[in-house]
Amino acid sequence: MSSPTGRVAVVTGGASGMGEATCHELGRRGHAVAVLDLDEGAAQRVVDALRADGVTALAVAADVSDHAAVTGAFAKVRSELGPVHVLVTSAGVVGWCPSVDLTPEAWQRVIDVNLTGTFFCAQAALPDMIEAGWGRIVMISSSSAQRGSPGMAHYAASKGALISLTKSLAREYGPIGITVNNIPPSGIETPMQHHGQATGNLPPNEQMAASIPLGHLGTGDDIAAAVGFLCSEQAGFITGQTLGVNGGSVM
């Protein structure tokens, strides 16, 4: 089945949370969707749900921090679905540790996945976008990039760098029709957030909600709606921007 828009989207971290919601949003918008994640079985579960809704979809397993694996994954998408014109990078890992106790390995893993992995995926997708003279990249960062986060220096630093990466790629490839934007979420109910609560690193929902001006947590669909717009034709004059989807937590 060919995609009505003729566009292929890759969503990293597409097997869970806001990445999964984004796969469905982009599918509803007529894209063919490649669900890229660490766990092929989890990606396949999302693909099965997309196909049940009539969406052309493909599961690809890769660790985004592994350059060869990313190159192979994009080659598979290209050969099975076609050139990639939309990229959403939602794959990420989180960690909590006082900065004085942070090991080099823990620091490196967070930087490797969140920052370097995002760059590898953008680098793999850009040639198709350059060839088409059209492209959309949306990077998911974090509100910790905007306001800092105690006990999460590695995470906040990796996400802050994504905002700089967004702006750099937006300037570099804007002249040929590729937009690059960034969404720093906060307080979104996903498996990652539940893990943070289960390990005692994040407060319970009621306490989190009390610190959000809109008074409640967000969902993956809230992020997906913003991503869907930023990937659309209508968002063609928006690039290099950081769009908080956070209930007003950061203004």
Q: Which residues are catalytic?
A: 155
Question: What dihedral do alpha carbons 220, 113, 64, 30 form, nearest 10°?
Answer: 20
CA 150, CA 185: separation in Å to the nearest integer? 17
Give the nearer residue to ligand NAP in terms of CB position, either 90 or 239: 90
Give the nearer residue to ligand NAP in terms of CB position, either 60 or 235: 60
Min separation Cβ 188 and ligand NAP, Å = 4
**Torsion 191-194-199-200 (CA) sign:** positive
Contact (CB, 8 A) for 192 and 144: no
Give the nearer residue to ligand NAP in terms of CB position, either 89 or 239: 89
Give the nearer residue to ligand NAP in terms of CB position, either 18 or 58: 18
Phi/psi of residue 193, nearest 5 degrees: -70, -40
Min separation Cβ 93 and ligand NAP, Å = 5
Min separation Cβ 177 and ligand NAP, Å = 26
Structure tokens that stand for 217 in this block: 């947590």
* CA 198, chain centre distance (Å): 23
Min separation Cβ 6 and ligand NAP, Å = 26
Structure tokens that stand for 239 in this block: 């690039």
Min separation Cβ 151 and ligand NAP, Å = 15
Tell how strand 57-61 and strand 84-89 pair up.
Answer: unpaired
Under the rule (CB under 6 A), what is the footprint of ligand NAP? 12-13, 15-19, 37-39, 63-65, 90-94, 113, 117, 140, 142, 185-188, 190-193
Structure tokens that stand for 192 in this block: 């990652």
- SS3 of 201-238: CCCCHHHHHHCCCCCCCECHHHHHHHHHHHCCHHHCCC
Contact (CB, 8 A) for 157 and 94: no
Give the nearer residue to ligand NAP in terms of CB position, either 135 or 187: 187
